[in-house]
Structure 1
């Protein structure tokens, strides 16, 4: 009886495993292609790839990739705002404090718009999502422009990463079938 069971069951299990392995390879290559396409659009592709690998689980679908990119962008914006607030407090002159106050305001608006984008995505309001994400780069560039020569290498790096996260969000949003 065991021989009858083994002769029919074992090949079935083998075929199922081969099918699952091939399917997972296809999903993985499609996932890699989706992420690679997004990461080709940013200033720092290795940062993009590393970020997506840390925050996503397979399979990658545009809605989930967009949600994760927005969440990461929001987290980064909050961290940047805390950094800006600390820099404003540490600044010795009133002019630098005022410049950081403008940055603080810009990042406050960025955070609000990213929260709105996350809500638009949850509601499947893709027009609202696209509108929200299109506003985001301005807030980062406003801060960068106002600081001008008073910017620090760390602030430049933070701005670059924030821009990349916004581009990642916008590129992923563009892949959603509406």
Structure 2
């Protein structure tokens, strides 16, 4: 009797495992396609892919990808803001100090807007979310434009990464079914 039960059960278990493997492989392909589509839109695709690998776990759903990219963008903006405040305090040149003040204010606004965007996502208020995310790149541009020739390589790199994180957030938000 046990061998009869085993002879029926074993094939069922095998079929179920194959189905689960194929489904998870299919899900992984869809996840990778979603991320690859987002990363094609940024300046530095390897940075984008590495960031996603660090901050996400499968499955990748647009709401979760958006939440994670907003959180990463906010963390990066806060780090950049601290860098800007320190650079402003360290400079002796009044003109450069004033230029960093523009960046200080801009990044402060961006941090507030990213926090609002995170709340809008949690409340599924996608119109406000989209509006918030569309404002943020301007603050990075304003800072870069203000610093102009006084921009340091470190600040250029920070700005590039911030732009990419904002693009990633915006691209992920656009994938949410509303």
TM bucket, shorter chain: over 0.9
How many Å apart are 1:98 and its aligned residue?
Answer: 1.4
- Which position in structure 2 is the counterpart of 1:150? 150
- Which position in structure 2 is the counterpart of 1:57? 57
* Greater displacement, 95-104 / 2-11: 2-11
Counterparts of 1:51 and 1:43 in 2: how far apart (Å)?
13
2:66 paired with 1:93? no
How many Å apart are 1:90 and its aligned residue?
Answer: 1.1
2:5 paired with 1:12? no
Counterparts of 1:153 and 1:164 in 2: how far apart (Å)?
17
- Which position in structure 2 is the counterpart of 1:136? 136
Structure 1 residues not aligned, in runs of 5+: none
How many Å apart are 1:12 and its aligned residue?
Answer: 1.3
Q: Deviations over 1:10-55 (max 9, x none)?
A: 1111111100000001000000100000000000000001101110
Please give the secondary structure, in 1, of the residue aligned with 2:155: helix
TM (norm. structure 1) is 0.98
Q: CA RMSD in A?
A: 0.8
Counterparts of 1:60 and 1:98 in 2: how far apart (Å)?
43
Question: Paired residues, what number?
Answer: 178
- Which position in structure 1 is the counterpart of 2:41? 41
How many Å apart are 1:89 and its aligned residue?
Answer: 1.3
Please give the secondary structure, in 1, of the residue aligned with 2:58: coil
TM (norm. structure 2) is 0.98
- Which position in structure 1 is the counterpart of 2:112? 112
Structure 2 residues not aligned, in runs of 5+: none
How many Å apart are 1:99 and its aligned residue?
Answer: 1.1
How many Å apart are 1:101 and its aligned residue?
Answer: 1.3
Moved over 4 A (4+): none
Counterparts of 2:88 and 2:8 in 1: how far apart (Å)?
72
How many Å apart are 1:166 and its aligned residue?
Answer: 0.3
